[in-house]
Structure formats: structure tokens, C-alpha cells
Amino acid sequence: MTSYRLSTYYPAQVYRLLLVLALAVFSSGSNAEPLANNQHRIISTDAGVTDVLFALGVGSSLVGIDATSTLPADVSADEIANLGYHRMLPAEGLLSLNPDLIIGSEHMGPPETIEAIKKADLTLEQLPVAKDEDTLKGNIKIISKLVDKQDQAQALLNHIDQTMADVKQQQLPVGTKVAFLLQLEGRGLRLAGKDTTGEDLILLLGGSNIAQHNSYQSVSAEALLSLEPDVIIVAGRDASQSSVNLLLKNNPLLQHTPAVQQQKIIEVDGRLLVAGISLSAVDALANMAKQLH
């Protein structure tokens, strides 16, 4: 985690406190509203951060997001600038929105954009990509402190604890071989290897990753059949059709895997996994554990 300009953040809090006191004096007995959440101008360059900001009730403070972020159904995409892929963010685009807080992951880039942000009069917070619930909870605590929503964060932390407790009660049997597949239109099958969110999910479910390579690599149906997975998880991006049905239609050979024969083949929305173990991913994980139990 890297944090900048924290020393200048606290005076802003003091200012807001003075403003609250002033409003209390001049608005006593009136219908004056408390300070609005949009006291910040926030840019989120990470889908998981965006999820947390909306869950904390400060989504209305967002002025910019990255391409992986998903907005709630009742929020118009026209209201928030889309700044593109988080590794290739344009400095001019970010700074032109006049933010006072930018929150993203450790993978924000390019380096020249990060350097430009550091020179600007704003707060930049780069968080580690969560591979488990502990890192996710740590990130939520940091974000909630930045936006003065620590009380609201406690409900999220409690939800994560309860959800993960349920997941741990529904762990896969020791030694269960799991294949996590990305199904991309026109690009065949990609098998999740080491140091991927797919592998993180497998391990949190209690399984063993059937792949030994790093990152995601293409795999044929014949190769996958030879690995004899006990469980297959399919991540697709087209919500209009079943990823499992599409997989088996295009790769009928997989009907002979132990996973399919034992009906241990499930799907997950791949869009929920782009930011590591996020709030959305925790809920998806619980759903997968329930299906496989």
C-alpha cells in the first residue's frame, strides 16, 4: 500500500468539522441537511474500490472510474467519466476532473501518470490487490477512513466474516482437483494457473488447482480431459447464455471428465473477478461453495 499527502488530508477534516459546527450554529432548529457525501471528488481506478465506495454510500462522490468498474443499475454511466484501463490511465484525463482523492490498486499506471498525480494537490491511495478476505477487509478499512465512513464499514466487515464462515463450512474435500476456465469468445479456453484470481477462488473453496503454469494459458479439451478435474468452474462474460452449456457444446469431449459426470461443473460471472477478491467476488464465492457442497 502506498499513501501520499496524508499530512494534508487531516486539515481538510478539521475544515469540515468547523463547517459542521458553523452549520449547527446557524441552522439550529431548521431543516438543514448534514454535509452531503459529495464533499469529495473521488476517482476510482479499480472495480473492487468502486464496489466498496458505493457500499459505503459515497458513490455520488465519484467523478471518474476505470473501465473494469461496474455501476449500480440506478446510476447513469453518463454521470461519471470512464477513464479507460487502469494500467493505462491518462494523466490529463484524471487531473481534468479536479479530484481531491484517487483510489486504485498497486497496478495503476503508467508510471508517468502516477508521477503526475503525485505532483498534484490531491490524495492518492494505492491498495494491494486482495487475494483473500483479510486483505479485502484491510482495504475496506483504509477506504472508509479516507471518506469518513468507518461506522458504515463495520457492516461490510461483518458481512465478509459471516460469508466466509459459511464458505469454510462448505469446503471441498481435501485433494479435490479443480480447473478454473475463462471462456472467451473466439479465443478458446484459458486455464487459470498460479497467481491468478481463479486460483485464489479455488484455494478459498478448499480445492487444489489442477494447473501448474503461471497466469492464464490456452488449453485444449483433450489436455483438460487428461488432467481429470473433479470440479470445473467456468467464468464467462456473456450473461445472455449459460457458460456451462456453451462450454460443453463447443467441447463435447469434456462430457467424459469426472467433473461433468459427477455434475460438479458450475459457472461464475467473469466480470466479478477482475479486481481480485472483492465484495462481489466474496458473494460469488459463497454461491459457488453452496453449489458444490
Q: How far apart are CA 132 and CA 26, in angstroms?
A: 48
Residues 6+ apart with CB under 8 A from 3: 123, 124, 125, 126
* DSSP structure class, residue 32: P
Residues 6+ apart with CB under 8 A from 166: 286, 289, 290
Phi-psi group of 176: left, alpha or beta (phi > 0 → left; psi -120 to 50 → alpha; rest → beta): beta
First-to-last CA distance in the chain? 36
| Spans in the chain with pLDDT lower than 50 | 1-37
pLDDT at 273: 78
Q: How far apart are CA 89 and CA 95, in angstroms?
A: 11
Q: How far apart are CA 16 and CA 190, in angstroms?
A: 50
Among candidates 191, 192, 176, 199, which has minimal Cα distance to 251? 191
Q: How far apart are CA 106 and CA 117, in angstroms?
A: 14
pLDDT at 186: 67
Three cell numbers, residue 100: 481531491
pLDDT at 118: 94
Among candidates 211, 46, 207, which has minimal Cα distance to 136? 46
Using DSSP's 3-state secondary structure scheme, residue 270 falls into: helix
Dihedrals φ, ψ of 131, to 5°?
Answer: -110, -5
Q: List, edge to edge, every strand of the sheet that includes 101-105.
A: 2-3, 123-127, 101-105, 42-44, 62-65, 81-82
State the DSSP string of 136-177.
Answer: HHHHHHHHHHHTT-HHHHHHHHHHHHHHHHHHHTTPPPTT-E
Dihedrals φ, ψ of 14, to 5°?
Answer: -60, -40
pLDDT at 62: 95
CB 266 within 8 A of CB 234: yes
